[in-house]
Amino acid sequence: MFSPITGGCLCGHVRYRIECAPLDAGYCHCRRCQKSSGAPVLAWLTVAAHGFAYTGGAPSVYCSSRSYQREFCPHCGTQLIFCRSLSPRTIDVTLASLDDTSVIAPQYHIWMQSRVSWLRIDDTLPRFEGEGPKCSA
């Protein structure tokens, strides 16, 4: 029996709930994730769009590329989701914004071609120079 996963931003204004089991999770080293978070790498989980809902607050939306958008708290700036702008089938959620970050662990690295040079990665997860098993731009 799957129990819902909850999460939200740093200040608590925006809250969300995930109602079905995540499809997968991975690290993204792309420049857009780095720039949008100010962090060297972002960990994302992917869930079917119908399984994700905001339960409190209203996020701001930034179109980070032609067909994709990022949503974040307008008050504290925490990035919460990444998805296709038009009728997304899946939603990527920042794994570290979950209330319980242990519910799923990243299973791969994507966009290794733009990883920061000083980050040491010693896991044995599959590494992809580009988008890897799913598209994330």
Question: Can you give the binding site for Zn ion, defined by CB under 5 A?
Answer: 9, 11, 13, 28, 30, 33, 73, 75-76, 136
Supply the minimum distance, in Å, between the C-beta of residue 131 and Zn ion.
9
* Cβ distance to Zn ion smaller for residue 5 or 42: 42
* Cβ distance to Zn ion smaller for residue 16 or 52: 16
Supply the minimum distance, in Å, between the C-beta of residue 38 and Zn ion.
13
Distances in Å between the Cα of 125 and the Cα atoms of 42, 105, 106, 109, 122 are 15, 11, 8, 7, 9
Task: Give the distance from CA 132 to its chain's centroid.
Answer: 15
Supply the minimum distance, in Å, between the C-beta of residue 18 and Zn ion.
18
Please tell me the distance from the alpha carbon of residue 62 to that of residue 70, in angstroms, as a whole number: 5
* Cβ distance to Zn ion smaller for residue 14 or 104: 14
